[in-house]
Amino acid sequence: MVLKTIKDDIQIALARDPASRNFLEVIFCYPGFHAIILHRIAHWSWLNRLFLIGRIISHISRWFTGIEIHPGAKIGKGFFIDHGMGVVIGETTEIGDNCTIYQGVTLGGLSLKKEKRHPTLDHNVVVGAGAKILGSLYVGANCKIGAGSVVLEDVAKNSTVIGVPGRMIYRGDSDPLKNMDDDLKRSPDPVAQAIKCLLEKIPKLEKELKELKKVKDINKKSIKKTKSLKIAK
């Protein structure tokens, strides 16, 4: 069982990283692979109430790989961490099968209470480099989270989310790893769209302001003329 799990983890790394060449390279040179193997041991210790041992294994893994996974986190099959430096996965995080995350990702919490305070990722989720998914929220199956995004609300399945805070910009039913680069390149930048909208409205507002000033000037002249007529009488 253990050997099969290790074999599956190696095959996943070979399948999802085009830079990988052979299984020996994955075994000796992939920190994501090392982190998930050590996490499985730490998680087994955690489930068997060997809490300190689980935390020690987790800390050793962090020291060697730069990837911090709390031993209490539940991670499914086919989990792949690409590069991995700076990845943080909190205690109550739940990750489904066949998920992929990149360097700098945080699956963190917002609550200080001892409760479910970290995100749940369903199956086949891809999380881009530097993205932050915070709080006890749910990310549906087949979702893509763009690099650098900050997700603070639940995400419906088959969605693509980008931005700060994260906004859904596309919803479909395709494999999240298929054409991922092209999809994100075509994704609109919400900040750029907002600026474009403002630039389009500013000339209209300036025109309306000039017209209002003209009306105001006409009214002023009319009032002055009326006052002068009254004084003349």
**In the chain, what are the domain boundaries?**
2-188, 189-233
Cα–Cα distance between 59 and 66 in angstroms, integer?
10
Cα–Cα distance between 188 and 19 in angstroms, integer?
29
Flag whether pLDDT at 219 surpasses 80. Answer: no
Cα–Cα distance between 7 and 22 in angstroms, integer?
12
- Summarised one tens digit per residue, pLDDT across range 71-113 is 999 999 889 999 989 999 999 999 999 999 999 999 999 988 8
Whether pTM exceeds 0.85:
no
Q: Is pLDDT larger for residue 178 or for residue 65? A: 65
Flag whether pLDDT at 51 surpasses 90. Answer: yes
Flag whether pLDDT at 176 surpasses 80. Answer: no
CATH superfamily of 2-188: Hexapeptide repeat proteins (2.160.10.10)
Percent of the chain with pLDDT over 70: 84
pLDDT at 127: 95
- Summarised one tens digit per residue, pLDDT across range 117-139 is 999 999 999 999 999 999 999 99
Cα–Cα distance between 168 and 152 in angstroms, integer?
12
Helix 51-65 and helix 31-47, axial crossing angle in degrees, nearest 10: 170
